[in-house]
Copies of this chain bind each other. A is one copy, B any other.
Amino acid sequence: MINKTKNANHYLYEQVAHQIMSLIEEGILRPGERIPSVRKFSSRHNVSISTVLQAYYLLEDRGVIEARPQSGYYVRNCIRELPPEPKISYPPLSASRVRIEDLFMKIFETLSRPDIIQFGLASPHPDLLPSKRLNRTLGTILRRGNFAGNSYGEVRGYQPLRHQISRRALDWGCRFSDNDLLITFGCAEAVNLCLRAVARPGDTIAVESPTYFGLLQIIENLNMKVVEIATDPKDGISPEALEAVIRKRKVKACLLMPTFHNPLGSFMPEENKKRVVKLLAHYEIPLIEDDVYGDLYYGMERPRPMKALDKHGLVLLCGSFSKILAPGYRVGWVAPGRFTERVLRLKISNTVTTATLPQMAIAEMMQNGGYDHYLRKVRKAYATQAQVTTQAIKKYFPAGTKVTRPTGGFLLWVELPKSVDAMVLYQKALAQKISIVPGHIFSARQQYRNFIRISCGQQWSAELEQGLATLGQLAKKIVVGTKKIGDSVLTCTHD
C-alpha cells in the first residue's frame, strides 16, 4: 500500500509513479508488458482513480509507459536501456555576478560551423524546419501586392499574429487579450525587456541551477546578479529552496523555465508550480517565465505555463517561434501582465517595432493549420530522437554516465564521471569536428564541470551515432587518463 504521508516534494501520485518505476526497474514489469489497469491499481492500493491516472500520465510524459487505444498502458520497449538520471543540484546560496561570457563567446563561435557534427546548438536542424511551407506562405503574401510588411508595423506587433497566440493561450489556461501581448525579436529580446522592466543593475535574479547560458549572459550584460536555486532534473526548481533563498535575501525577480527546461528538460509538477506562484505573489516578486519549448511536448497535452496560475499579473510569459518554425525569423513574444506598459516602452526604445513580414508568414501558418500540422510531426520526431540519443549515450559513454529524461523539447543533460572535465572533452571533440556545450557555462560560477548538454534537434543518422561513439571514446580516455595519474582535482560540483 502506498504511504499517504505527504512531504514537501513527494506527492501521492509521484509515489504511485515511483512504485510502478520500481516494478519496471526490478524486471517485474518487462518492456512491452501491460501494466495494471487504473481501476485495479486504485482498488488494490487504496488510492483514488484520479491519483493513479495522474501517475500514469506522468510516466507516459516521461516516456516510461505508453497508452494503446482500447487496451491500456504498456511498458515502453526501450525503457530498461535508459541510463540513470542526474540528481538534484545544490548550488551555493549566495548571489554572484555572472562571469561566463568569455567562455561563452569561445564556444558560441563553433556553434554555427557547418563542417561540424552539431550536438551543441539548441536549435532544430534545418531539415526539421517547415522551410518549404514557410517560404511558400511568404511568397504568397508578397504576390498579393501587400506592402504592409515594408512600413513600420504596429508597435505591439502584427495584430493577426497576436490574435493567434492569445487564442491558443486560452487552451493552456491563459487569458490575455491581443493588447496584453507584444511581439519581440525572439525570446531573447523578450527576456531582456522583462528583466529591464522589473529589475535594475545590481539587483539579484533567481534562476534554476543549472540554467540556459543565454539567460545568464543576458543577466550578466544587464549588470544584474544571479542566485541559483536547487533544481531537480525531473521536477525543476525546488520550491523549498526558492523560499529559503527569498527569505534570506532580496530577490528582485525570478527567471525560470518550468516547462522543458534548457538544459535539464525538467517539467515542474502542477503542485510545485502552484506553490511557487503563491510564494512569489506573497513576496510580490515578478516571475519571468521562459516557455520557448512549451509547444514541443511529447505527451498528450500542451502543458500549462505558470502564467495560467497567476492572479496578480506578476508573471511575464515569454515565448518564441525560434525553436519551432524558423530561428532566422527572430519572432518571439511576451505577455508581461501588469508590466505591459513598461515593457512596451522598452521595446520601442530597444528596436522600435518587430519586422513585419516574418510575423505575417507565421500568422498565416497558424491560421491555415500549417503550424499544428507541423507540430504534430515534429513532436514525435523529437521524442524519438531524444530516446535514440539516450540509448546511444548509454551504449558508448563511460560507466557511471547519467542522462536526463525530458518529456518535451530536444535537449539532454549528461552527467559524466567526476573525473571528466567537460572543457577538456569539448576541446578534444572539437578537434574531431564534433560540437557539444560544456556544463561550465550553465552556471554563473562555472559549476557543472563534468556535465555536457547534447542537442537532439536533428534527424537520427549513422553520422550522429558515429559522433556519439567518438564522444564516448574520448570521455572514456579522459577517465582512464585521470585514473592513471591519480588526478583528483576535477570534481563534480553537485557535491
Interface residues of A (CB under 8 A from B): 101, 105, 108, 112, 121, 123, 126, 129, 131-132, 134-136, 138-139, 142-143, 145, 147-155, 185-186, 188-189, 192, 196, 200-201, 214, 217-218, 220-221, 223, 325-330, 345-346, 348-358
Contacts and interface: CB of A to CB of B under 8 A. Distances in A.
A352 B330 contact: yes
Nearest to A326: B150
B150 A126 contact: yes
A414 to B, nearest CB: 23
Given A135-B149, A150-B329, 8 more contacts: A123-B152, A132-B147, A150-B327, A150-B328, A185-B355, A196-B221, A351-B351, A355-B355
Given A192-B349, A345-B105, A327 B358 contact: no
Nearest to A330: B355
A48 B348 CA distance: 50
A218 B139 CA distance: 35
Given A135-B142, A139-B142, A330 B349 contact: no
Contact of A142 (B138, B148, B188, B330): B138
A382 to B, nearest CB: 17
Smallest CB-CB A-B distances: 3 pairs: A131-B147, A150-B326, A328-B356
Given A330-B354, A355-B330, A221 B147 contact: no
Contacts of A350: 188-189, 192, 221, 350
Nearest to A222: B349
A346 B189 CA distance: 11
A353 B111 CA distance: 13
Contacts of A121: 152
Contacts of A214: 349, 352
A346 B221 contact: yes
Nearest to A141: B135
Contacts of A108: 155, 348
A5 B152 CA distance: 50
Contacts of A154: 112
Pick from A132, A345, A352 the residue with the most CB of B within 10 Å.
A352
- Specify which of A145, A151, A186, A356 lies most central, judged by the most chain B CB atoms within 10 Å of its CB: A151
A327 B357 CA distance: 11
A225 to B, nearest CB: 15
